[in-house]
A and B are shown apart, each in its own frame.
Chain A
Amino acid sequence: MTDSSKTVNTFTPTVEAIETSRRNFLKFGASGAAAVTLSGVLPGMAAQALAQPAVIDAHTPKAGERRIRLTVNGVAQELNVATNAILLDVLRDRLQLTGTKKGCDHGQCGACTLLVNGVAINSCLSIAVQHDGDAITTIEGLAQNGTLHPVQEAFWEHDAYQCGYCTSGQIMSAVAILQDPAIGRDDASVREAMSGNICRCGAYKNILAAVQSARGKMARVG
C-alpha cells in the first residue's frame, strides 16, 4: 500500500498513427483531424506493433468466433473472440486488463473510456471484432517505465477521486481532451468536454483542477 516514489514528468510522446487503423477512423465516427492530433499521446506502440504478436489463442476460431489482432498498450495480441463480444469485456476478461471499468454497459457513464487509435471511445459500446488491427491504449498503458503520465500524476496530487472507480475513464478522457485543439482551455470548456464521465463520488472540483494542472505539465514537456 505504500508508495512514496517521486515522479518526474519525463513523459514523451512517441507514436505516430498506425497504418492499419486508419480505416476505422470513419467507422467509429471520429474526425480524422482529431485522430491525427491525438495520436501524439499514445505511449510507445508503433515499434512493438510491428513485432510478432502474442498469440492468446492458438486454435482456429470456433463457430461464432472471429480471430482478431489488437495492439494493446503497444503489445500485439492475436485472439479469437465471439462475434457478440464487447471490446470492454475482451480487454477485461480475456486480456486481464481490468483497469478499464464497467459502470453501465450502455455508454452512459464513461467508466470504460479508452483510446482507439488515439480517439477516446466508450469501449462498452464497441464490438470487439470491429477493432481488428486497431491500436488501443488503456489506463495500464499510460505510465512509461513506472513514470506516471502527467494526467495520472495530477490526479494523484489533486485527490481527483474518491473510490477510484471512475478514475480510469476520467483520466483517459482527460488525456484525449488535453490533446484536442477543438476543446477550449477554460474551465467551462473542460467541464463540458468531461461531462460524459460521471463521478458519483462527486470529485469533480478536484478532477477539473487535475486536468488543468496537467495541461501545464504536458505543454512544458511537449
Chain B
Amino acid sequence: MSEQLIGTAMRRIDGRQKVTGAAKYAADHPLPGMLYAYGVYSTVASGKIVRIDDQAAKAMPGVVTVLHHGNLPTLHRTPNAPLNVKEILHASRVDEHRLPFEDDGVYYPGQFVALVVANTFEQARAAAHKVKVEYQAKDAVRSLAQGLKTKGARDGGRGHKRGDPNAEVGTQRIDVTYTTPVEVHNPMEMHATTAWWEDGRLYVYESSQGVLNHRNLLANVFDLPPERVEVRAPFIGSGFGSKLWPWPHAIAACAAAKVTGKPVQLVLPRAQMFTTVGHRPDTIQRMRMATDANGKLVSIRHESFNSTSTLDPYTEACGVVTKNLYSCPNVLVSHSIAAVNRGTPTSMRAPGAAPGLFALESAIDEMALAVGMDPLKFRQLNLSTTDESVQLPWSSNHLPEAINTAAERFGWHQRDPRVGAMREGDELIGYGMGACNWDAFQVPAEARVTLRSDGSALVQCAVQDVGTGTYTIVAQTVAQLTGLPVDKIEVELGSSAFPPGPVSGGSWVTSSIMPALAGATRQALERLRGYAVAASGPFADGDVQALTIEGGALVNGEQRVSFADVLKSQKLARAEGRFQSGMPVNPTHSFRSFGAHFVEVRWDPGISRLRVARVVSAIDVGKVVNPLAGRNQVEGAIVMGLGMALFEAGEFDPRSGLPANNNYAEYVVPVHADMPEIEVILLDYPDYNLNEFGARGMGEIGVTGLAAAVANAVYHATGKRIRSLPITKEKLMA
C-alpha cells in the first residue's frame, strides 16, 4: 500500500462524462429501427375496464401495435418473498406484484391500461391519446383516514416491546399525534426502459438501482434462464428508492419488444412518476412519552399507521429508531397499515426513519419543553449508550460529540429559550435541533479485479453508481491496494453480466463492495506473485511472502518489477481475482450511523414568509472514503429534508382519489433560491467492527431528523407547534 487514497477528496472519475453529456442513461440509446412506446393510464382510482377501443389509435400513422390486457401474451409473476439481505444477490423482488395488463381490474389511478407502440415518439404519444377506455368505476378508498375507517388497520410488523409500556409511569407526560403526507421520489430522470430481444435473449437498458435483481425478475416474468437476460444501468438519473425494485413499465416495454421483434423505448411521463413507480406513503403517528422528575425518559409509545395499496402490503417502519436512540425501560413500537386505491408504496430515502424521526425528534422537543429543559441537554441526558432493543453495544456511536460539535459551530449557546424572543428586522428567528439516524449494513457483494499487461486494472461489479460516487470510490479502493494511479483503474459497473452486486439502497453500497474489492484485489495480487516466482518469472524461485506491493509493482529489497512486466515475462495478458464478501455473522455489536442537525428559521409575520436560513449538521458515518462526494451526499439529503419540511406533499382529489399535483410545478421541491447556508461536519471515526475500512455509508442519514429540526425551530420562533408536514405558511397563519 502506498499513498492514502481512501479518505481523500477526489473529483469523480466519471465527471468528464457527466459534464459533457456523454454519460448514457436508460433512454439515451437510440437503436436502429427502435420503436417508441407510450402508455395509456387509468383515469379512475378503482374499477374495471369494460372496453378498450383502439381502432382509432391503430389507424394513426406509424402505429405498430396497441397492447392491453386483452391481447398481451402470458407473463409470469415473480415469487412474492420478503427481502432477505443474506440472499440479496439472488433476489428478484418487486413491491407491486401484479403484472401490467394482468386482468381488467383497475386498482389505482395512473395504472397502465394500454401501451401504444409506434415508429416515432410523436406518433406513439398522439395515438395514445386516441385510445378510448371505458371503465366501470367503483367507489375508491381515497385517503388513509378513510382506509382506516372502512377497512380497518392490519398489523404491519416490525414492532418492538420492552418493559411495561402501558404502565402509567413518570411525572411528566405528552400524548401527541403527527402526520406526514405522501412524498414522491421524483428523481430527475424519469423511469425509462430500452429493451430488445436477440436470439432468444433479452437486453435492457433500465433506469435501475439494482440491475441484478431486475435481471432476475425479468427472467422469472419471461420464463428465461437468468443468463439469457442482461440489464444495464451504467448511469442512473438517481432514484432515491423508486428504482430499487422494478415497476410495471419495465415489464411492459420488454413485452412490447418481444411482440414487435424490435427494440422499444419507453419513458414514463412525469405525471406517472407519481402513480406507478412507488411513493412514500402518508403516516399518522401517535407518540406518547413520559419522564421522571429528573427528566429521564421512563416510557415511550410510538404507534404508526401508513397507507398501502389494495394490491400489496407495505410498511413504513416509522418506529425503528424510536426503539433504541434513547435510553428508556418501557417502549412500545407498532406499525399498522390500511389499504387505499393508490399505487404500491416503496422505500424512499431513509424509509421509516424519515417520517419516524419527524415524529420522534419533534416529540423529544415537546417533552424537553414539558420538563423545562434545554432540548440539547434533554437529549444528552437521555441518549442511549447501548442498543437497548437488542441488548448489544453500539459498534461506534459518536452522537454526543456530533451534537456538541454542531452546536458549537451553529452557536446554540446564543439561543434565547423564550418563544419569539430572537428577532432581526422584521423577522423572528428560531433555533431548532434534531438527531438523525440510519442503519449501517454490510450485505453480500462480489467483484472482479483484473491486473492487465498494459499496466492498468479493470474492476467490474454489478452494482450501480446512482450518483453517490461509487465509480470513484471503487477506483480509490483498488488504487490504494495496488498502488496503481487512479487513472489506471478502469471501473465498469451497472451490468448484470458483471459479478453480482447488491441493489444500491440502504446506504450499504460502500460498506458492502469495499470488502469484495479488497478480496478480489488481493487474490489478483496473489496470482501475480505466483507468476513472479515461477521458473521464468522476474523473481524466479524467490520467496512469495517476501514480495511486497508498491506503486503498481512487486518489490523485494532492491528489485522492483511492475505488474505489467511480471505479466509480460510470462506472456500473460491478465491476473484476475474474484471475491465474494458476506455480511457480519452473529454480530456482537449493533451498527447504526448517527448525527445531529441544527437549523435556523426565519419567519416574517408581516408578509407570512417562512424560510430556513442556516443548517449545520455533524454526521458520524464511520470512515468517509471520499469527503468531496460524501459531503455532497449529506448536503443533498439535507436539501431533500428541507423539501420534506416545507414543501413536499402528494395530494389526491378527495372526491375521485386521483392525484391532484402530479407534476414538477405543483409538487414543489427545493430549488436554488430556497437554499440556506449549509455546513456539514463529517466526524470520520472508522467503524472497524463493520469492515476493515471502517466505512458505514451516508446516502440516507442526512434526510432524517431535518424536518423535526425545522419544526422545532419554527416553534421557537412562532410558538406554533406544527405536527403535520409540510410546514406551510397556511398552517402558520391558521
Contacts and interface: CB of A to CB of B under 8 A. Distances in A.
Interface of A: 1-5, 64, 82, 84-86, 89, 92-93, 96-106, 108-109, 111, 138-140, 142-143, 148, 152-153, 155-157, 159, 161-168, 171, 190-192, 194-208
Given A89-B121, A191-B672, A105 B189 contact: no
Contact of B21 (A86, A100, A198): A100
Nearest to A100: B21
Contacts of A199: 188
A41 to B, nearest CB: 16
Given A202-B635, A203-B636, A99 B664 contact: no
A163 B237 contact: yes
B163 interface: no
B675 A205 contact: yes
| 3 A-B pairs with the lowest CB-CB distances in the bound complex, closest first | A99-B21, A202-B639, A165-B237
Contacts of B236: 163
B672 A159 contact: no
A89 B237 CA distance: 18
A164 B237 contact: yes
Contacts of A206: 632, 635
Interface in B59-84: 61
21 contacts: A1-B475, A1-B492, A84-B122, A98-B24, A98-B27, A98-B28, A103-B189, A108-B270, A155-B18, A156-B11, A156-B12, A159-B629, A161-B18, A161-B467, A162-B238, A163-B235, A163-B238, A163-B466, A165-B238, A167-B19, A202-B639
B237 A106 contact: no
With most chain B CB atoms within 10 A of its CB, the pick from A5, A166, A205 is A205
B513 to A, nearest CB: 15
A111 B22 contact: no
A156 B472 CA distance: 13
Contacts of A164: 14, 17-18, 23, 235, 237, 467
A85 B120 CA distance: 10
B189 A93 contact: no
A192 B188 contact: no
Given A93-B30, A163-B236, A106 B637 contact: no
Nearest to A157: B11
Nearest to A190: B672
Given A98-B30, A101-B25, A203-B635, A198 B12 contact: no
B671 interface: yes
- Indicate the size class of the contact surface on chain B: 35 or more
Nearest to B34: A93
Interface of B: 11-25, 27-30, 36, 61, 120-123, 126, 186-190, 235-238, 240, 267, 269-270, 456, 466-469, 471, 475, 485-492, 628-629, 632-633, 635-640, 663-665, 669-673, 675, 678
A82 B127 CA distance: 14
Contacts of A168: 21
A11 to B, nearest CB: 14
A143 B270 CA distance: 31
Contacts of B23: 164
Nearest to B235: A164
Given A82-B122, A161-B467, A201 B238 contact: yes
A109 B664 contact: yes
A98 B490 CA distance: 24
Given A111-B188, A196-B671, A204-B639, 15 more contacts: A4-B487, A64-B61, A101-B237, A102-B267, A103-B188, A103-B237, A109-B188, A109-B664, A152-B20, A159-B632, A162-B469, A163-B238, A165-B188, A167-B18, A195-B673
B19 A156 contact: yes
A13 B663 CA distance: 38
Nearest to A96: B30
A89 B61 CA distance: 18
A210 to B, nearest CB: 10
Interface centre among A3, A64, A111 (most CB of B within 10 A): A3
A116 B489 CA distance: 39
Nearest to A142: B20
A2 B672 contact: no
A100 B475 CA distance: 28
B632 A203 contact: yes
Contact of A108 (B485, B491, B635, B663): B663
A139 B15 CA distance: 14
A207 B466 CA distance: 18
Most B-side CB within 10 Å, residue of A1, A109, A153 = A1
Given A4-B485, A139-B20, A197-B672, A162 B467 contact: yes
Nearest to A83: B122
B632 A2 contact: no
Contacts of A152: 19-20
Contact of B15 (A156, A200, A207): A156
Contact of B12 (A159, A202, A205): A159
B551 to A, nearest CB: 16
Given A98-B28, A165-B187, A197-B672, A205 B235 contact: no
Contacts of A166: 188, 237
A142 B18 CA distance: 13
Given A200-B669, A207-B672, A2 B238 contact: no
Contacts of B190: 102-104
A163 B188 contact: yes
Contacts of A86: 122
A195 B671 contact: yes
Contacts of A153: 19
A13 B188 CA distance: 31
A84 to B, nearest CB: 5
Contacts of A104: 190, 270, 663-664
A205 B114 CA distance: 42
A198 B669 contact: yes
A203 B469 CA distance: 13
Nearest to B492: A1
Contact of B120 (A93, A200, A208): A93
B122 A108 contact: no
A23 to B, nearest CB: 25
A94 B236 CA distance: 22
B675 A1 contact: no
A195 B267 CA distance: 25
B238 A99 contact: no
Between B236, B237, B672, the greatest number of chain A beta carbons within 10 A of the residue's beta carbon is seen for B672
A3 B188 contact: no
A200 B21 contact: no
A61 to B, nearest CB: 13
Given A108-B665, A204-B675, A85 B122 contact: yes
